[in-house]
Amino acid sequence: MILFLHGKDTYRMKEKLKEIIESYKRANRNSLSLKFFDCQKKSENILKTLKDNLCQPSIFKEKKLIILTNPLSDADFKEQFLKEKKFFLESDNIIVFYQEADFNKNNSLFNFLKKNVKTQEFELLSGIKLKNWVKKQFNDYKAKIDERALDLLLKYVGSDLWRMNNEILKLVNYGKDNLITEKDVVLQVRSNIEAEIFKTIDAIASKKKGTALNFLQRHIDKGDSPLYLFSMINYQFRNLLIVKDFMEKGQPYNVIIKKSGLHPFVVKKTYSSCRQFSLGELKKIYQNIFQIDLNIKTGKINPEVALDLLVATI
């Protein structure tokens, strides 16, 4: 029997592979019957070694489990396997084709596997499927999350289940009375928007106004709040001003981390961008941000217009 696992959601793929291996181990005593082969390794003829292994009888007369990683990434393996396909299709053993990396779906081996073996594709979860997956994770940890907190968590993290699982664990360990609130998410989870906003700041710092405006429009189109985006830009330029002031005073990098009170990650991202501005420019920009922020709060300017105006004046 041949199984083919592939897709972009490597978290659920790993979980499925783990499930297959654990099920096999429960049913079979001989761990020697479980083998892993990486088809990208050129140190041996994978197909020949695989075939020899399958032909060798098991001491306990049990089926073997063979895990083949990256089978579609190697042209030699693909060509050799298709020549020997009848042998593998007729084998009583379990062979798992496990493909994480991107590949051309015009691949002849991919087309053969799709037509002839049991295939499971793991697309990135989104919408209600993602929401239900996250709810189940909280239930599995015997914890609860309220709807507003759940919506915010989904917005912050998105479809990256590796990160999502880590954030869920963090929230479960942090949460009191097993109920996760919106406040818990704000305090414990770093927003993807915050990570992406660095691209906009970098574009602004490089004086690439068109690129910066495109990034901002992308955020708006995704439904991100203009006020939140403005506050993030305000926050980043405040950090630029703090770090630049230390740099102008000749303070070394490690001292800036200690004295600025900023997270080392923030200092690292900010330090290189500071080189694009003089201290005088940053002070002027920060004063401009303050004035635009005041105009937004007093209703003198629309927040989306304010974003464009801010970029245009830098």
Q: Write the pLDDT tens digit of every residue in 244-271.
A: 999 999 988 888 888 887 777 778 878 8
**The pair of three-digit structure tokens given for residue 210, joined into one six-digit string:** 């068109």
Q: pLDDT, tens digit, for every residue of 200-259?
A: 777 877 778 888 888 888 777 776 777 777 877 887 888 889 999 999 999 888 888 888
Q: Could you tell me if 307 and 212 are in contact, meaning their C-beta atoms sit under 8 angstroms apart?
A: no
Q: What burial class does residue 234 get, using C-beta atoms within 10 Å of its C-beta: 0-12 exposed, 13-18 middle, 19+ buried?
A: middle
Give me the pLDDT at residue 136, please.
94
Are residues 294 and 272 part of one domain? yes
Number of domains in the chain: 3
pLDDT at 4: 92
Spatial separation of the C-alpha atoms in residues 121 and 9, rounded to whole Å = 9
pLDDT at 43: 55
210 and 302 within one domain:
yes
| 309 and 218 share one domain | yes
CB atoms within 10 A of CB 7: 15
pLDDT confidence of residue 79: 82
Q: Cα(194)–Cα(186) distance, rounded to whole angstroms?
A: 12
Element (H, E) at 3: strand 2-7
pLDDT at 39 over 80: no
Chain Cα centroid distance, residue 17: 19
pLDDT band at 74 (very low <50, low <70, confident <90, very high): confident
Regarding whether 80 and 20 lie in a shared domain, the answer is yes
Our CA angle for 213, 217, 219, nearest 5°, is: 120
Q: What is the pLDDT of residue 185?
A: 86
pLDDT band at 30 (very low <50, low <70, confident <90, very high): low
**Closest to 93 measured CA to CA, from 59, 69, 57, 120:** 57
Higher pLDDT, 169 or 46: 169
pLDDT per residue over 79-136, tens digit each? 888 888 888 888 888 889 898 766 667 788 888 888 899 999 998 898 999 999 999 9
* Structural domain range at position 147: 127-188
Same domain, 114 and 202: no
Confidence of residue 179 (pLDDT cuts 50, 70, 90): confident
Write down which residue in 150, 169, 188 finishes a domain.
188
CATH value at residue 245: 1.20.272.10
Whether 58 shows a pLDDT value over 80: the answer reads: no
Mean pLDDT computed over every residue of the chain: 82
Residue 160 sits in a domain whose CATH number is 1.10.8.60
The model's pTM: 0.60
